[in-house]
Amino acid sequence: MDTKNAGFNTKLIHAGDFHDEYGSAVTPIYQTSTFAFKNAQHGADLFAGKEKGFIYTRIGNPTIGALENKLAELENGCGGIALASGMAAVTTVYMTFLGQGQHIICTSAVYGPSRAVLESHFAKFGVESTFVDSSNLKEIEDAIRPNTKLLYLETPANPTMALTDIKKASEIAHKHNIIVVVDNTFSSPYLQKPLDLGADVSLHSLTKFINGHADIVGGALIAKDPEIYAKLRKTMVYMGGNMDPHQAYLVIRGVKTLTLRIDRAQENAMKVADYLEKHPKVAWVKYPGLKSFPQYELAKEQMKGPGAMISFELKGGYEAGVTLMDNVHLALLAVSLGGVESLIQHPASMTHAGVPKEARLQANITEGLVRYAVGIENVEDIIADLDHALAKI
């Protein structure tokens, strides 16, 4: 079915899908590493790009291609690239647009490894990076140098949930011929469409909302312009960060319910955020759906909904965080987000326990900070679980 002009939910179900000669209702898994040519001429034509078809799974595969086409349609891109993980997508972007003596401007509160790999591996190859609070457009503008090639944004950023105005940031970057990439993992294509707002590439950890069932790791890039798409694809094929067909099949299955899952999760998250904001043991709550959120208006402007990620600070600091972790029973103590199950995390004692306290505080990882990825369970159960655990503090 041609879904180009169809609604978002129809695209989720049908875009990119194909049906085999037996009339399979879902896209089959082509679990094969290579594809046989019909004859010498066929092989020659495939390699020359004169005929459409498949050669080798790292280069392309029907199941992976179905997912790539679906994702591209969901965000109005010209093409999608599926990768082994979100980090494979991040490093493919860096490898494509950065080189010796070139410069990147990056949101300071990006996903930890997206920053760490610049400071370690890419610095080793002579790439310069500047990390700015991109919610302040002036900081972006002031960081631009003649050798700046890439503006890498993450919005909402973690754990502050600070938003970057994608439209205005893209306008600034494009005046200087700088390519704009947005990590759209926290919002998914349902809640935010970076390409429509002016970005060149949208990036996802499929591990989170898009797959939605905490059973695979995966990544994707969606490009607006065919030239940029071709460059990214070439890097993926050479560097070998490709997805596996079975992984693609699971993501295709997971993404079909994206809006149903997110609608429920953010309805729950709004109630959880309201509950937490009124709780006497909670110092503050950061959730783009709260009126108290500093960028509440921008959230309404560039996002279709506030999502399902909440950050909050416990008045009791580190000890309170540990007590909360040890007393919740419904939420799993785990990193990640965007699955059907609720996950809770206390960075100071868990993900950032190895980071010295001073450095933690500098990165806004305060002692009582808790990150809650709200799932689609009954919200009364989620709140009862938190209520019981908060009472132990």
Ligand X SMILES: *Cc1c(COP(=O)(O)O)cnc(C)c1O
Q: Pick the catalytic residue from 17, 30, 165, 183.
A: 183
Helices (H) and strands (E) in the chain, counts: 16, 12
DSSP, res 215: S
Stretch that binds ligand X, among 41-49, 117-125, 172-180, 183-191 (CB under 6 A): 183-191
Q: Does 160 bind ligand X (CB under 6 A)?
A: no
Cβ proximity to ligand X, 85 vs 366, nearer residue: 85
Please give the Cα distance from 77 to 220 (Å, whole number): 12
Choose the stretch contacting ligand X; rule: CB under 6 A; options: 46-54, 120-128, 170-178, 181-189: 181-189
How many CA atoms lie within 13 Å of 78's alpha carbon, on the beta-carbon side?
14
DSSP codes of every residue in 128-155: EEEEE-TTSHHHHHHH--TTEEEEEEES
Cβ atoms within 10 Å of 147's Cβ, excluding its own: 12
Under the criterion CB under 6 A, does residue 367 sit at the interface with ligand X? no
- Considering the complex, what minimum distance in angstroms separates the CB of residue 178 from ligand X? 21
Classify 36 as helix, strand or coil. Answer: coil
- Number of Cβ within 10 Å of residue 335's Cβ equals 12
Q: Residue 245: which residues within 8 A CB-CB, separation 6 or more?
A: 29, 30, 31, 32, 57, 61, 63, 64
C-beta of 186 vs 320, nearer to ligand X = 186
| x/- map, 37-76, ligand X, by CB under 6 A | ----------------------------------------
Does 241 bind ligand X (CB under 6 A)? Our answer is no
Q: Which of 11, 70, 149, 208 is catalytic?
A: 208
3-class secondary structure, 112: helix
Q: Which residue is nearest to ligand X (CB)?
A: 86
Q: Which is nearer to ligand X, 157 or 197 (CB)?
A: 157
| Helical packing angle, 379-391 and 317-327, nearest 10° | 130
Query: Is 183 tagged catalytic?
Result: yes
Cα–Cα separations (whole angstroms), residue 186 to 50, 112, 136, 307: 39, 14, 20, 7
CA–CA gap between residue 128 and residue 115 (Å, rounded): 12
**Could you say which of 61, 63, 85, 187 contacts ligand X (CB under 6 A)?**
85
In the DSSP assignment, the letter for residue 294 is: T
Please, what is the minimum distance in Å from the beta carbon of residue 165 to ligand X? 18
Interface with ligand X in residues 295-354 (CB under 6 A):
none
**Binding flag, residue 262, ligand X (CB under 6 A):** no
287 given a catalytic annotation: no
Q: Considering the rule CB under 6 A, would residue 217 count as an interface residue with ligand X? A: yes
For ligand X, the closer CB: 27 or 114:
114
Q: Residues 65, 86, 339, 375: which binds ligand X (CB under 6 A)?
A: 86
Does 304 qualify as catalytic in the annotation? no
Establish if 94 lies at the interface with ligand X (CB under 6 A).
no
Close Cβ partners of 130 (under 8 Å, ≥ 6 residues apart) = 103, 104, 105, 106, 143
Size of the site for ligand X (CB under 6 A): 14
- Distances from the Cα of 167 to the Cαs of 80, 149, 220, 288, in angstroms? 21, 18, 21, 18
Residue corresponding to tokens 């990882």? 365
Q: How far is the CB of 116 from ligand X (least distance, A)?
A: 12
- Per CB under 6 A, the list member of 68, 73, 183, 385 interacting with ligand X is 183
User: Is 261 tagged catalytic?
Assistant: no
Q: How far is the CB of 343 from ligand X (least distance, A)?
A: 12
Footprint of ligand X on 108-127 (CB under 6 A): 111, 114
Active site residue ranges:
58, 111, 183, 208
The binding site for ligand X (CB under 6 A) comprises: 85-87, 111, 114, 154, 183, 185-186, 205, 207-208, 217, 219
